[in-house]
């Protein structure tokens, strides 16, 4: 499984064509985990001023 897909253009140079969709679930899950952990940190460890 390649993360990046490459092709050759008319001059023989290697060109990035796209990304593999196989790993999209892992990146989406990592984003959700980051948001949940950051929200928990902000809720429990950051003091609120003036509230």
Coil, helix or strand at residue 19: strand
Every domain of the chain and the residues it spans? 21-51
The tens digit of pLDDT for each residue in 5-45 reads 889 999 999 998 887 788 889 999 999 999 999 999 999 99
Whole-prediction pTM = 0.60
**Phi and psi for 15 in degrees, rounded to 5?**
-125, 135
State which H helix or E strand residue 25 sits in. helix 24-45
């Amino acid at each position: 499984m390649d993360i990046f897909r490459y092709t050759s253009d008319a001059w023989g140079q290697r060109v990035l064509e796209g990304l593999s969709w196989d790993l999209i679930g892992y990146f989406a899950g990592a984003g959700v985990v980051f948001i949940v952990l950051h929200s928990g940190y902000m809720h429990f460890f950051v003091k609120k001023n003036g509230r």
